Amino acid sequence: MGITKTEHFTDEQNELAILAKAIGHPARIAIIQHLIKVNSCVCGDIVNELPLAQPTVSQHLKELKNAGLIKGNFEGNSICYCLNEEGFNKIKGFFQQVNTHLENRKNQCC
């Protein structure tokens, strides 16, 4: 098929998957890393930073935005982008659970 059976999973599981999937591309990792470095910048800077055509970058930005991982605001002629806490806070809890688990389990692994 190629179609994910989202209806059989919980909202939380689907939401976490959407967030992780959005992060799961090297171009989008690069965008996030760049925004960490410069705090905020206009779209054009990201286009210059990446080895991809402008429409492709625009598409990646859209996906990050839809997932709630970045925000974009008009700033004169261009659009200023920065990280969106909301999205990252949602995944934070998941990885904290993983870490707590990994720290607490001693040699109970198979």
Q: What is the contact surface with DNA in residues (CB under 7 A)?
A: 1-5, 21, 24-25, 27, 42-44, 47, 52-56, 58-63, 72, 74, 76-79
User: How far is 97 from 110, CA to CA, in rounded Å?
Assistant: 20
When CB distances are held under 5 to 8 angstroms depending on the partner's kind, the choice from DNA, a second copy, none that residue 13 binds is: a second copy
When CB distances are held under 5 to 8 angstroms depending on the partner's kind, the choice from DNA, a second copy, none that residue 66 binds is: none
Which residues from 53-92 bind a second copy, rule CB under 8 A? 71-73, 75, 80-83, 85, 88, 91-92
Which residues from 37-56 bind a second copy, rule CB under 8 A? 39-40, 51-52
Residues 6+ apart with CB under 8 A from 100: none
| Contact with a second copy (CB under 8 A) among 16, 45, 58, 90 | 16
